Amino acid sequence: MVDLARVQKELQECNRDVQVSGIRVSPKADCITHLIGSIPGPLGTPYEGGVFNIDITLPDGYPFEPPKMRFVTKVWHPNISSQSGAICLDILKDQWSPALTLKTALLSVQALLSAPEPDDPQDAVVAQQYLKDYQTFVGTARYWTEAFAKASSLGIDEKVQKLVEMGFPEDIVRSTLEAVGGDENLALEKLCSA
Amino acid sequence: MTFYGHCFRQSNRQSPIFALELAEPKFMSSDSFLGVNLAGTMSKKRVLCKFFAHGACLKGEHCEYSHDWKDPSNNICTFYQKGACAYGSRCRYEHVKVYQSQSSASSSSKTYPSQYTCSDSIHAARPPGPVLGTVGHVLGVSSEAPVINRSFLPSGEPAWAENSGHGGIPEFSGIGESRSLNPADHPICSFAAAGNCPRGEMCPHIHGDMCPICGKHCLHPFRPQEREDHMKTCFQRQKHLEALKHSQEIECSVCLERVLSKPTAAERKFGILSECDHPFCISCIRNWRSSSSSAGMDVNSAVRACPICRKLSYFVIPSVIWYANKDEKEEIVDSYKAKLRSIDCKHFDFGNGSCPFGTSCFYKHTVKPGSSLWDSTLMPDLYGSRILDVDEAESSSDEENRDVLRELFKHYRPRLPIGVEADDSSSEDLDVDDALAPFLMLGALDMSDLSGEDNVM
């Protein structure tokens, strides 16, 4: 069973110094085991200026099992799948410790953005590019940040507007956006596949 | 009345009934002394009801004990008389030695054991001067009618009767005599020891010296051993309380709660890691260490490591207090290990099971005769060379083990293994000590090596 008291404490703690860390965690819906976290792209990296949303699912064993984290914002990074958003980070797998919190885990993910490990890649294509053609990698990463990580900082109404203009009915757009945690790209994907 | 007192001293041995009648003409007829039961109820009526004293006697008027504040209370600690009062000088009840009263009781007549001693002690107790008072002293005392009434208490209650000589009416009897004999035999005032004696200077008891630690007047001036014991326990308690106070603030890094503020008592314990100094509550750290590999975590590198510093620890020590320094930690660890050593290992099961921790197990491994290990390995060796080695190498600490084992196996007669000639004389020679030798060796092996696997998860 998830330690709900601890999760509540973590959320309070995290939201207290959100101005300093820039890391936000909030429940996705009523259920506290599904959360959405967001981290700002680290300065001096191609991800600077973007805000990256991460989908967090707490397993039953939390905090004795690591939380499941996945990027919902598309990222061009050797250790993050450009397709699924899966993160390759040891502390989210076998090196998890119950003394880590959602905030510290997100900080680690943020650190991963500024220090890629191309030798232990999650996305082989990106890793290849990083090793062989670093300039192109930086360009692509920056382009993806501009295209996906900044758009998501739009207000919800603007996102709805944008999708409605594409020809989807407004009520469906709103519910889909809500379901994916406000990410317009994911909502578009979902709307198209529906 | 003055005459009665004198009479007591002269004649009580020969005619106790006469003396009694004189003393208590109103309450007791001579008839009442012929019926034991009647005497019993009478005496009970004269002892102040414990419950009444606290305003909580449910029996009311039907209570067999007195509900009159004038009557004295039976304030003798029966645990002390049995030799085991845990409160020592802090006990709220009188610590009266049983042998004193028995000796004096035996000197009195058998039928009314308390009469002689009671009356005698009145004389002895009241006068501040010489114990064996002159007639003048006796007269002075005896003229106080209530003194006689209060102290004259034949009783049907065994504990009471036993002690009526010296401790039965502690306020008035016993004091003079015991003070004159040896002040150490006299109990200190329990009211003063508890904080406040309403009688102050008038109190007939010794008021204890003030304990510098707890601030109570509970140090017996004439019992150095008891003083020392009290100071020691008081100091330890003080230390414990301080440690507890420091521990209050400490949070578990896993559940993020204060360990000592958890809802249930079982959770309000720290789990101390052997190799580092990071605080966790016992349930969190045990939960983490027992979390299976389902999450894909490596048992040796992740799960057994401290969640904070990732230093590997092989065992966790439960403790209600958090330590302030290395020595305190060592003390906690040592006392924990000592406690485990006295508990039989359930895996080992007296030789029937197998303990995964083997010789590094913290628990006690004893082999019982008839267990599978006993049958398979130890019996043949009884006649082998190992016995001699063990016997020679036996240390003094094994003596204790040997005694325990001898006690355990005193009805055991060693069986001879198949193939060994059952020679009568040889089996006579084989005494219990020899039969026990392998166990002693086994014990020595088990206890000597305590490092290794984590068996206290």
Give the Cα separation of B96 and B434 in Å (integer): 47
Give the Cα separation of B294 and A85 in Å (integer): 23
Chain A contact residues (CB < 8 Å to B) = 3, 5-6, 9-10, 13, 59, 61, 63-66, 93-100
pLDDT at A159: 78
B202 — phi, psi (to 5°)?
Answer: -75, -10
Query: Does B256 contact A95 at a Cβ distance shorter than 8 Å?
Result: no
pLDDT at residue A6 greater than cutoff 50: yes
Question: Which chain A residue's Cα is nearest to B251?
Answer: A99
Q: Is B305:B265 a contact under the CB 8 Å cutoff?
A: no
Local structure of B18: helix, strand or coil:
helix
Partners of B305 on chain A (C-beta within 8 Å) are 97
Give the Cα separation of B182 and B100 in Å (integer): 12
Distance from CA of B253 to the nearest CA of A (A): 5
Which residues 6+ apart lie within 8 Å of B277 measured at CB? B329
Of B288, B308, B310, nearest to A64 by CB-CB distance is B288
Tens of pLDDT, residues B207-233: 888 888 887 888 888 888 888 888 888
Query: Does A99 contact B297 at a Cβ distance shorter than 8 Å?
Result: no
pLDDT at residue B29 greater than cutoff 60: no
Tens of pLDDT, residues B119-172: 343 444 444 444 443 443 444 444 444 444 444 444 444 444 344 444 444 444
Q: Return the number of other C-beta atoms located less than 10 Å from residue A130's C-beta.
A: 23
Mean pLDDT of A60-78: 91
Probe site for chain B from A93, A96, A97 (most B CB atoms < 10 A) = A97
pLDDT at residue B338 greater than cutoff 50: yes
B132 versus B43: the higher-pLDDT residue is B43
Mean pLDDT of A11-32: 85
Query: Does A65 contact B256 at a Cβ distance shorter than 8 Å?
Result: no
Give the Cα separation of B327 and B338 in Å (integer): 16
Question: Which chain B residue's Cα is nearest to A98?
Answer: B254
Share of chain B above pLDDT 90, in %: 4
Of B288, B296, B301, nearest to A98 by CB-CB distance is B288
Probe site for chain B from A94, A101, A103 (most B CB atoms < 10 A) = A94
Partners of B308 on chain A (C-beta within 8 Å) are 97, 99
pLDDT at residue B112 greater than cutoff 50: no
Q: Is A83:A75 a contact under the CB 8 Å cutoff?
A: no
pLDDT at B209: 84
Tens of pLDDT, residues B46-96: 777 877 777 778 787 788 888 877 777 777 787 877 777 878 777 777 777
Which tokens go with B361? 């197990």
B25-29, B71-75, B192-196, B271-275 — which is least confidently predicted?
B25-29
pLDDT at A68: 93
Task: Write the DSSP string, B100-135.
Answer: HHHHHHHHS-SSSHHHHHHHHHHHHHS-SS-SS--H
Burial of A86 (0-12, 13-18, 19+ CB in 10 A): middle
pLDDT at A167: 86
Query: Does B297 contact A59 at a Cβ distance shorter than 8 Å?
Result: no
Distance from CA of B347 to the nearest CA of A (A): 27
pLDDT at B315: 87
Probe site for chain A from B256, B258, B301, B311 (most A CB atoms < 10 A) = B256
Which residues 6+ apart lie within 8 Å of B208 measured at CB? B89, B188, B189, B192, B193, B216, B217, B218, B219, B220, B221
Partners of B298 on chain A (C-beta within 8 Å) are 94
Give the Cα separation of A21 and A13 in Å (integer): 12
Mean pLDDT of B169-194: 62
Tens of pLDDT, residues B117-132: 333 434 444 444 444 4
Place of tokens 């190498």: B393
Distance from CA of A9 to the nearest CA of B (A): 8
ipTM score over 0.95, yes or no = no
Partners of B307 on chain A (C-beta within 8 Å) are 97-100
Burial of A58 (0-12, 13-18, 19+ CB in 10 A): buried
Q: Among B122, B153, B158, B147, which residue's Cα sits nearest to residue B27?
A: B153
Partners of A94 on chain B (C-beta within 8 Å) are 296-298, 301-302
pLDDT at B191: 80
Chain B contact residues (CB < 8 Å to A) = 253-257, 278, 284, 287-288, 291, 294-298, 301-302, 305, 307-308, 310
Distance from CA of A130 to the nearest CA of B (A): 29
Query: Does A59 contact B307 at a Cβ distance shorter than 8 Å?
Result: no
Mean pLDDT of B18-44: 43
Burial of A123 (0-12, 13-18, 19+ CB in 10 A): buried
pLDDT at residue A148 greater than cutoff 70: yes
Question: Which chain A residue's Cα is nearest to B290?
Answer: A64
pLDDT at B97: 67
Q: Which of A114-118, A175-179, B7-11, B297-301 has the highest mean pLDDT?
A: A114-118
Query: Does B256 contact A93 at a Cβ distance shorter than 8 Å?
Result: no
Distance from CA of B263 to the nearest CA of A (A): 13
pLDDT at residue B413 greater than cutoff 80: no
Distance from CA of B292 to the nearest CA of A (A): 10
Give the Cα separation of A33 and B293 in Å (integer): 22
Give the Cα separation of B254 and A97 in Å (integer): 9
Give the Cα separation of A143 and A151 in Å (integer): 12
pLDDT at B290: 83
Query: Does A97 contact B294 at a Cβ distance shorter than 8 Å?
Result: no
pLDDT at B299: 66
Partners of B287 on chain A (C-beta within 8 Å) are 64
Alpha-carbon torsion, ordered B187, B190, B195, B201, to 10 deg: -70
Mean pLDDT of A71-88: 93
* pLDDT tier at B12, thresholds 50, 70, 90: very low
Q: In what order do the strands lie in the sheet with A68-71?
A: A24-27, A34-40, A51-57, A68-71
Local structure of A37: helix, strand or coil:
strand
Query: Does B302 contact A96 at a Cβ distance shorter than 8 Å?
Result: yes
pLDDT at residue B436 greater than cutoff 80: no
Sign for the CA dihedral angle at B179, B13, B126, B159 comes to positive
Give the Cα separation of B181 and B144 in Å (integer): 26
Distance from CA of B299 to the nearest CA of A (A): 9
Sign for the CA dihedral angle at B400, B406, B409, B411 comes to negative
Of B284, B302, B308, nearest to A94 by CB-CB distance is B302
Partners of B284 on chain A (C-beta within 8 Å) are 98
Q: Among A73, A11, A89, A70, which residue's Cα sits nearest to residue A41?
A: A73
Question: Which chain A residue's Cα is nearest to B287?
Answer: A64
Backbone Cα Rg of chain A: 17
Residue positions of A annotated with a catalytic role:
88
For the question of whether the overall pTM of this predicted structure is more than 0.80, the answer is no
